């Protein structure tokens, strides 16, 4: 399959009719607010495909801010605004996530379910209804010269059902690119060989992403039976507003410990996410910069993650938003324990510069931590482990420079190794935090003077 959006003036518009995306024709499941979010087919879906692509200089527009319509007369499943007008996809996202703490059944723009060698090249994706691109269980995925921009200026001139302007803050869950693994596929007609469910050999390069959630999030799953995510390169790219360069929060898949020549076990355990190399990346205006996140409901081993030549300028703080340039936390959000304890190993920052005042969080995991005794956390039927599980966060900082004093700095159960290039972060030992220093060397900070460029073509 090769889907070509050939010319710059060509735009593919997504339908605003939820009935076109229902999983079963005649049974409304899309465009609804429910406890789960599996009610929609994607605009474009590729399943168990080999050597497939979406290429060209055109645009795919999800029309996430436009009012929904229905091909069913007087459709009772069509959600309405207080004034009786139909809701938009982003209305549904806001009401589901922020108001009701439930799930939005919105379509994804591009969903790739298992397969080998899928390419996105030069295409512009905008105004996504939910996630832009999810390559799930794909062995060989490339996004090259892709532009992701949500919401566009035309949509930002509009308001949601509460009268708030559409923005990257109100277009909820519009992630940019989320590579993830899946369960194994043994029946694969036309594509010889078992598909392991691994998300592997991934390249995101020369790509610009501005969106309403993670600019990019490398994910796993919530069960060890799923495959792994490994050999991921993010290079020569620019991220703008969003939630930054993320790994997690799902990080549980390990293919039940099956050996893999591309994945190196740590302490006899095969990592869920490994071999991630991020370099020559600018993050400009996101509320998070570099982030790895998980918790005891979906955790696993994450190892060999390296960030090099990265420039970060986070968004400005507001009364409700506290941006964090670096956040490595095994307490992503209050959950019930599933006994899936997160463990980060081999995290290295080598040439990272933060040019404005921001916050910082470094937290390893300890099942006896006061964090897990706070409101919202529950040991559930799994219970608290005895003895406690302690997975400190080992992280190396070399030439990690903050040009301004931190707005906040939290550290717990963390082992810092400071390289010869040093760090300007005011790290202090104590409360489970250990700091070791290498002999200092004269290393110039990363040059960020030309890093923060305008979004191309905007």
Catalytic residue (one of 91, 175, 213, 214): 213
What is the per-residue pLDDT across 198-257, written as a single tens digit (0 to 9) for each? 899 999 999 999 999 999 999 876 777 778 899 999 999 999 999 999 998 888 877 777
Domain that holds residue 202: 2-437
Residue 1 has pLDDT above 70, yes or no: no
Inside any domain, residue 448: no
Structural domains in the chain (count): 1
3-state secondary structure of 99: helix
Inside any domain, residue 22: yes
Residue carrying structure tokens 């009610």 = 39
Average pLDDT of the chain to the nearest whole number = 92
Q: How many CB atoms lie within 10 A of CB 189?
A: 6
User: CA–CA separation, 108 vs 293, rounded Å?
Assistant: 23
User: CA–CA separation, 103 vs 94, rounded Å?
Assistant: 10
Contact assessment for residue 12 and residue 63, using Cβ atoms and an 8 Å cutoff: no
User: CA–CA separation, 155 vs 128, rounded Å?
Assistant: 11
Inside any domain, residue 314: yes
Tokens of 287: 């509320």
Closest to 175 measured CA to CA, from 203, 138, 209, 221:
209
**How large a percentage of the chain has pLDDT more than 90?**
79
Per DSSP, 41 falls in state -
* Residue 61 is among the residues annotated as catalytic for this protein: no
Tokens of 122: 């030069």
Inside any domain, residue 371: yes
Which residues share a beta bridge with 284?
313
What are the Cα distances from residue 442, in Å, to 303, 421, 439? 29, 7, 10
Contact assessment for residue 260 and residue 302, using Cβ atoms and an 8 Å cutoff: no
Contact assessment for residue 213 and residue 175, using Cβ atoms and an 8 Å cutoff: yes
Confidence of residue 358 (pLDDT cuts 50, 70, 90): very high
Per DSSP, 29 falls in state -
Catalytic residue (one of 243, 255, 287, 413): 243
* Residue 243 is among the residues annotated as catalytic for this protein: yes
CATH number at residue 355: 2.160.20.10
Q: What is the pLDDT of residue 246?
A: 97
3-state secondary structure of 379: coil
Q: How many CB atoms lie within 10 A of CB 208?
A: 23
CA 180 from centroid of its chain's CA atoms: 10
Q: What is the pLDDT of residue 260?
A: 86
Q: What is the pLDDT of residue 185?
A: 67
End-to-end, the C-alpha distance of the chain in Å comes to 30
Confidence of residue 178 (pLDDT cuts 50, 70, 90): very high
Closest to 93 measured CA to CA, from 175, 24, 153, 11:
175
Task: Specify the length of the chain in residues.
Answer: 458
What is the per-residue pLDDT across 110-152, written as a single tens digit (0 to 9) for each? 999 998 999 999 999 999 999 999 999 999 999 999 999 999 9
| H or E segment and range at residue 302 | strand 301-313
Residue 192 has pLDDT above 50, yes or no: no
Inside any domain, residue 449: no
User: CA–CA separation, 153 vs 119, rounded Å?
Assistant: 28
Residue 181 has pLDDT above 90, yes or no: no
3-state secondary structure of 401: strand
Give 196 or 205, the one with higher predicted confidence: 205
3-state secondary structure of 155: helix
pTM: 0.95
Which residues lie below 8 Å from residue 142, measured CB to CB, with a gap of 6+?
Answer: 118, 119, 120, 121, 202, 203, 204, 205
Inside any domain, residue 452: no
Which residues share a beta bridge with 137?
none
Contact assessment for residue 45 and residue 54, using Cβ atoms and an 8 Å cutoff: no
Percent composition of the chain: helix, strand, coil (DSSP 3-state, to 5): 5, 40, 55
Inside any domain, residue 77: yes
User: CA–CA separation, 232 vs 140, rounded Å?
Assistant: 10
Round the CA-based radius of gyration of the chain to a whole number and report it: 22
What is the per-residue pLDDT across 70-120, written as a single tens digit (0 to 9) for each? 999 999 999 999 999 999 999 999 999 999 999 999 999 999 999 899 999
User: CA–CA separation, 108 vs 218, rounded Å?
Assistant: 17
């Amino acid at each position: 399959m090769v889907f070509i959006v050939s010319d710059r003036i060509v735009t593919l518009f997504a339908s605003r009719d939820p009935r076109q995306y229902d999983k079963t024709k005649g049974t409304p499941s899309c465009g609804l607010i429910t406890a789960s979010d599996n009610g929609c087919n994607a605009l474009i879906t590729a399943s168990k495909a080999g050597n497939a692509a979406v290429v060209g200089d055109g645009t795919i527009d999800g029309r996430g801010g436009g009012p929904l319509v229905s091909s069913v007369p007087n459709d009772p499943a069509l959600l309405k605004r207080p004034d009786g007008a139909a809701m938009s996809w982003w209305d549904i996202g806001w009401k589901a996530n922020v108001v009701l703490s439930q799930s939005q059944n919105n379509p994804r723009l591009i969903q790739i379910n298992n397969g080998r060698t899928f390419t996105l090249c030069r295409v512009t994706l905008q105004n996504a209804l939910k996630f832009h691109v999810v390559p799930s269980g794909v062995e060989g995925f490339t996004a090259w010269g892709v532009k992701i921009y949500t919401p566009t200026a035309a949509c930002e001139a509009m308001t949601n059902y509460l009268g708030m302007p559409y923005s990257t803050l109100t277009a909820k869950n519009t992630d940019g690119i989320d590579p993830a693994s899946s369960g194994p596929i043994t029946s694969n007609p036309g594509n010889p060989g078992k598909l392991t469910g691994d998300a592997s050999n991934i390249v995101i390069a020369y790509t610009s992403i501005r969106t309403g959630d993670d600019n990019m999030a490398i994910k796993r799953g919530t069960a060890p039976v799923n495959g792994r995510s490994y050999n991921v390169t993010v290079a020569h790219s620019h991220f703008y507003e969003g939630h930054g360069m993320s790994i997690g929060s799902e990080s549980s898949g390990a293919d039940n410990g099956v050996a893999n020549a591309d994945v190196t076990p740590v302490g006899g355990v095969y990592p869920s996410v490994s071999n991630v190399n991020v370099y020559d990346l600018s993050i400009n205006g996101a509320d998070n910069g570099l982030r790895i996140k998980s918790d005891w409901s979906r955790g696993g081993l994450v190892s060999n993650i390296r960030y090099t030549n990265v420039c970060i300028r986070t968004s400005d703080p507001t009364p409700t938003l506290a941006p964090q340039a670096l956040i490595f936390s095994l307490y992503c959000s209050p959950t019930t324990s599933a006994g899936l304890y997160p463990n980060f190993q081999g995290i290295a920052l080598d040439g990272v510069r933060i040019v404005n005042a921001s916050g910082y969080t470094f937290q390893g995991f300890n099942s006896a931590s006061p964090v897990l005794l706070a409101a919202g956390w529950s040991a559930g039927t799994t219970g608290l482990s005895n003895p406690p599980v302690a997975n400190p966060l080992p992280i190396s900082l070399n030439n990690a420079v903050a040009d301004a004093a931190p707005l906040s700095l939290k550290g717990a159960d963390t082992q810092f190794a400071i390289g010869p290039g040093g760090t300007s972060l005011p790290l202090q030992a104590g409360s489970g935090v250990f700091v070791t220093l290498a002999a200092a060397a004269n290393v110039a900070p990363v040059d960020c003077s030309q890093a923060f460029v305008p979004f191309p073509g905007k």
